[in-house]
Amino acid sequence: MTPLSSGFWSPGDEPGHRKFVTLTGQHQPFVLEGGGQLESVTVAYETWGTLDETRSNAVLVLHALTGDSHATGEADKGHLTPGWWRGVIGPGLAIDTDRFFVVCPNVLGACQGTTGPSSRAPDGDHYGSRFPVITIRDQVEVEVALADYLDIETWAGIVGGSMGGMRVLEWAVAHPARTGHAVVLAVGAAATADQIALSSLQVRAIRLDPDFAGGDYYANARAPYEGLAIARGLGQFTYRTGLEFETRFGRALQVESETVGSSDYAIESYLGYQGAKLGARFDPNSYIVLSEAMNHHDVGRGRGGVELALKSVPVPVTVAGIISDRLYPLALQEQLVSLLPNASPLATISSDFGHDGFLLEVEQVGAVIASALRQ
């Protein structure tokens, strides 16, 4: 069982390259779309490059479900894993830190320094089950407050994939004057039934773990990491492709044996490993909160529907999809391009990795982003 203390970042832990700011909403507390509120939100973020005198060269990078602010850089003190987009962000790379001032915040509801369920509430105890329902729009409003704090009126570019791409779309729809060029990778305008089904099963797996304790497990010796491992396995199955699994694993056993049932299949071991690895750095409650926020994703909600919302976007948008993505198939990106009035032709990424191609196909993805930012 993974130690509870390793599943989330907390004050007193090594900060690594994180910077921190505590923000309030436009009218003091952040009033959330679901009816709750947060008196303030602490945001962990990282930056690279230099902000120019006109403050016009800033690029906002938005991470996906289990990402964090450490978008580039090595694993070191405070960062259990290397940057998730190391080949994309840096000097001379697609998001060129010699040219741009790059900002990557940890998202609201997460567990790597930004306010989430594992954070301390005003009464001093962990939020746990008391953490309010949040949406993609709520996350973006916190990012808007961060931009205000950094005195960045308009981002030269906003870039993100999957859950990060949801937030890019929301920026473009809700805050077009502050969005220079939107780059949306591997996502759609609204969560589909398929995606909601996956997330709901993942959430159930965590909540049915005997150690879940209704979400208030932080003072306990055990946390629901077995449920989180199952949730991650379900996700990993949809993030990749059958072709990749067949090529890498086929019917191979983890330990070769002639006795049926005496060894796991290699693919089973791989999925278990991915679940355990996530448990070393992620809070199960955050997985629930962020998964449900993704389920609520719908740029058309309260705006007359998806078509009307997207057709109102005046900013240039680059949309890219992964040909083999079975979770966010190309039809969703084709819809975006057809409805966004200033969208470039759809960029397609060829990959055996499925949805994870937006993270792994560094050269192809980098070329799409670099082209967008040159505009």
Stretch 281-304: mean pLDDT: 98
Could you identify the residue written with the tokens 């920026």? 171
DSSP single-letter state for residue 186? S
Residue 318's beta-bridge partner residues? 183
Phi, psi for 319 (deg, rounded to 5):
-115, 135
Model confidence at 4: pLDDT above 60? no
Measured CA to CA, the distance from residue 347 to residue 329 in angstroms comes to 13
In the chain, list all ranges with CATH 3.40.50.1820: 4-191+297-374
Give the model's confidence band at 108: pLDDT under 50 very low, under 70 low, under 90 confident, else very high. Answer: very high
Q: Is 30 helix (H, G, I), strand (E, B) or coil?
A: strand
Pick from 32, 47, 36: which is nearest to 139 by CA?
32
What strands lie across the sheet with 41-48, from one edge to the other? 19-23, 41-48, 101-105, 58-62, 157-161, 182-185, 317-322, 347-349
Provide the 10 A C-beta neighbour count for residue 104: 29
In the chain, list all ranges with CATH 1.10.1740.110: 196-291
Ranges 125-134, 220-229, 252-261, 366-375: which has the least confidence: 252-261
Measured CA to CA, the distance from residue 88 to residue 364 in angstroms comes to 10
- Which CATH code, of 1.20.1560.10, 3.90.1150.10, 1.10.1740.110, 1.10.1040.10, is assigned to 196-291? 1.10.1740.110
Is 181 buried (19+), middle (13-18) or exposed (0-12) by CB count in 10 A? Answer: buried
State pLDDT tens for residues 214-253. 999 999 999 999 999 999 999 999 999 999 999 999 999 8
Provide the 10 A C-beta neighbour count for residue 91: 10
Show the 3-state SS of 300-352: CCCCCCHHHHHHCCCCCEEEEEECCCCCCCHHHHHHHHHHCCCECCCEEECCC
Q: Residue 58: in which H helix or E strand, if any?
A: strand 58-62
Model confidence at 206: pLDDT above 80? yes
Which residue type occupies 16? G
Q: Which residues are annotated as catalytic?
A: 162, 325, 355
Model confidence at 3: pLDDT above 60? no
Model confidence at 312: pLDDT above 50? yes
Stretch 136-140: mean pLDDT: 98
Residue 62's beta-bridge partner residues? 160
Q: Which fold has domain 4-191+297-374?
A: Rossmann fold (3.40.50)
